[in-house]
Structure 1
Amino acid sequence: MTPAARAQTAIEILDRHLDGTPAEAALTQWARGARFAGSGDRAAVRDLVYDALRCRASLAARGGLTGRGLIAAQVLAAGGALDAIFTGARHAPAPLTPEELARLAAGADDGPAANAAESSAEDLAALDCPEWLAPLLRADLGADFEPVMRAQRQRAPLFLRANLARNDRAAAAAALAAEGIETTPHPLAPTALEVTAGARRVQGARAYVEGLVEVQDASSQAMVAALPLAPGDRVLDYCAGGGGKALAMAARGARVAAHDVEAARMRDIAPRAARAGVRIEKLAPGAVRGVWDLVLVDAPCSGSGTWRRTPEAKWRLDAARLAALNALQDQVLAEGAAHVRPGGHLAYMTCSLLSCENGARVAAFLAAHPGWSLAVRQDLTPLSGGDGFHFSLLCRAAAG
């Protein structure tokens, strides 16, 4: 595919997304019918679509909230030539109209105002921050508000976790290097490797297939590394999803059980565990019984710390959804707490930057549940390199 054909494909996918189709579904639908597109083409189209969604507000301010408007503004933002893409040739976008060109010229972005505390709607668009969320994020992030929002406009790095059940970080890095995948240790976690070259080779690499490494964000790895685990501890991952944290805990020698309210979310845990050389027990929804040394509640959340990876979630979130998430977070915290043994620990995690999902939920839990105390709290933003993440470790009083 030519660059212009890739741009036209991205335009069509973005238009389907703007009409209500999730971006991943729109990309999948296109890929299934695009037998002519090689892996490089598919990756390039995906990058165009997700780059546009990360910067949707700023690009729309310049080119309009359509597939054509977003891609045209994206071409200009990258320093490209519009007449090299919008040619009207076969498979290329039609030439831009005088009206479209005038809008693009008038909407040139001069960047946000220097005083982020007084940002206008135009400034927030330049930061690609939803206007209704800006007061909450500004209050929670303080001086980091603008740097964090700028970071969220960029692609996230690819991080791997060295699987301690099979090797250490140095051995994993050496195995990857032998296959042309370059990595560097990341300071957030002792298992974290940031891929610096060869990222598209990872899933086909022997090191990945044989379970020497797993894909996991560095912030997520850091939070698991902070858990007070000893070999043989019984651990319940109450909202396990695909099992990334369950695998990391099992690699540390814990006896892990995974639970999720939707069993389908856990369908990949068994093959992932087999590849990693660890054992994870899967519990049916609602089938949790007894108490555990540690219960991890990785709660459903806004995902505001992961907007680099899931940019459409930034534009889909609204106040009603956030309130519903807060209620659900209170619910799963209380449910998880019921399965912690006296003297045990409850770990609460989110990939959110918002205190209403983090510290406020923990404070509400502590106010309603005597006999618990906060032992550790840690908050990370994308400025640390990984995703935005919250971790609170709660201790249950010992019996007697």
Structure 2
Amino acid sequence: MTPSARVAAAIEILDDYLSGTPAEQALTGWARRHRFAGSKDRAAIRDHVFDALRRLRSAAGLGAGKTGRAIMIGLMRGQGVDPDTLFTGEGHAPAPLTDQERSLTATLSRAERLDCPDWLLPQVEDSLGPETEAVLEALRHRAPVFLRVNTTRTTREEVQRTLAQEGIVAQPHPLASTALEVLENPRKISGSQAFLQGLVELQDAASQAVVESLQVKPGQRVLDYCAGGGGKALALASLGAEVVAHDIAPARMKDLPARAERAGCKIDISTPDTLRDFGSFDLVFADAPCSGSGSWRRAPQGKWLLTPDRFATLLETQRMVLSQLPALTSSGGAIAYATCSVLQPENRGQVDWFLTHHADFTMVCERQFSPLDGGDGFYIARLEGK
């Protein structure tokens, strides 16, 4: 496919997304209808679509419309690319720009320029202060690709050499002692020997740093209460903890046993019905459901789906999660509360609420990771029983 044909494909997928189809479903549907497209074409089209989703407001403003075509025109302009070079009408290219499209000028509001919903910008500013614009700008760009090295079986240096033999260039990242940032050929990772042999897992560097900050000791009993896909459960197990992974939707953990076997570690799986059978834990870790505001460059559609009502519901859910953790914690044990959010109502605000209702716990440390640190935005607080 030509570059112009890839833009035309992105327009089709964006129109599908704008009609209400989730982004991943729209991409999969397009690929099934266009089986002639090779892996490089699909990857390039996916990049166009997610670049557009990260910059949906500014692209719509610069293209003066909320259609796939207008958004791609605006995206090109925002990236400093002349749309006339791709909208040629030749072959499978999009139709040439009209005189009206070519003469468009736009003045973007601050929220449009930063690709932030109007209602949310004050919340972001209250949380981030002078870093607001820098963080929102970072979230408009593609996220780095990170690997977590399974240090129970190898070292970062050895993994670097192994990956390099397959053309994958990676370098250590300072956020975590297990983190490697992939600089070249990230799409080769899933087929690499290091990945297939369980020597590495895809995991954001800040997510790895959150696990390291817990200072887990070998033999400690740890509950990953909101395990999801299980990335942090695997990281905890690699530190020698006896890990139980739990999620309110157990289907999210369906791949975890195979991943644990590949990594050479043991993780027990709990459903809500069986959790009490495991007793209490030295550490209960909860990466709670949240806005995902710290990871919007990876999942940008979440930014546009968030509404004031949905945000309020998330805050209620976080409090419900926190309220259930003390009963699972051993006497003298600890709770670790985390979100992939940069918004204070979801972070310190929730910890303060918890402490007002549980005087037998005290916060001993907290940290807010920012996208400006290189990884996602993550918050972590450790609460210890008295």
Structure 1 stretch displaced more, 88-97 or 11-20: 88-97
How do residues 166-205 of structure 1 correspond to structure 2 at under 5 angstroms?
A: 166-205=153-192
Counterpart of 1:48?
A: 48
Counterpart of 1:116?
A: none
Contact persistence 2:62–2:77 (CA under 8 A): no
Counterpart of 1:271?
A: 258
Counterpart of 2:306?
A: 317
Contact persistence 1:54–1:128 (CA under 8 A): yes
How do residues 103-252 of structure 1 correspond to structure 2 at under 5 angstroms?
A: 103=104, 106-107=105-106, 122-252=109-239
Deviating runs (4+, > 3 A) in structure 1?
none
SS at match of 2:131: helix
Contact persistence 2:62–2:78 (CA under 8 A): no
SS at match of 1:256: strand
2:340 matched to 1:351?
A: yes
1: distance between equivalents of 2:141 and 2:299? 11
- Superposed CA RMSD in Å reads 1.1
2:373 matched to 1:372?
A: no
2:328 matched to 1:339?
A: yes
Cα deviations across residues 38-65 of structure 1 (Å, max 9, x unaligned)? 1100000000000011111111111022
Question: Identical aligned pairs, as a percentage?
Answer: 51
2:81 matched to 1:76?
A: no
1: distance between equivalents of 2:314 and 2:3? 41
SS at match of 1:231: coil
1: distance between equivalents of 2:121 and 2:381? 24
Contact persistence 1:165–1:278 (CA under 8 A): no
Contact persistence 1:299–1:329 (CA under 8 A): yes
Contact persistence 2:206–2:378 (CA under 8 A): yes
Structure 1 stretch displaced more, 384-393 or 70-79: 70-79
Structure 2, unaligned stretches of length 5 or more?
none
SS at match of 1:301: coil
2:360 matched to 1:360?
A: no
SS at match of 1:365: helix
Counterpart of 1:10?
A: 10
1: distance between equivalents of 2:352 and 2:53? 34
2: distance between equivalents of 1:363 and 1:79? 45
Contact persistence 1:85–1:92 (CA under 8 A): yes
Measured after TM superposition, the shift of residue 166 of structure 1 is 1.3
SS at match of 1:131: coil
1: distance between equivalents of 2:32 and 2:333? 49
1: distance between equivalents of 2:239 and 2:141? 32
2: distance between equivalents of 1:66 and 1:3? 20
SS at match of 1:95: coil
Counterpart of 1:112?
A: none
2: distance between equivalents of 1:256 and 1:57? 42
Cα deviations across residues 204-242 of structure 1 (Å, max 9, x unaligned)? 100111011100000000010011311111111111000
Counterpart of 1:88 in structure 2: which amino acid?
Answer: G
Structure 1 stretch displaced more, 294-303 or 336-345: 336-345
2: distance between equivalents of 1:261 and 1:30? 32
1: distance between equivalents of 2:79 and 2:315? 39
Structure 1, unaligned stretches of length 5 or more?
110-120
TM-score with structure 2 setting the length: 0.97
2: distance between equivalents of 1:387 and 1:296? 19
Contact persistence 2:146–2:202 (CA under 8 A): yes
SS at match of 1:247: helix
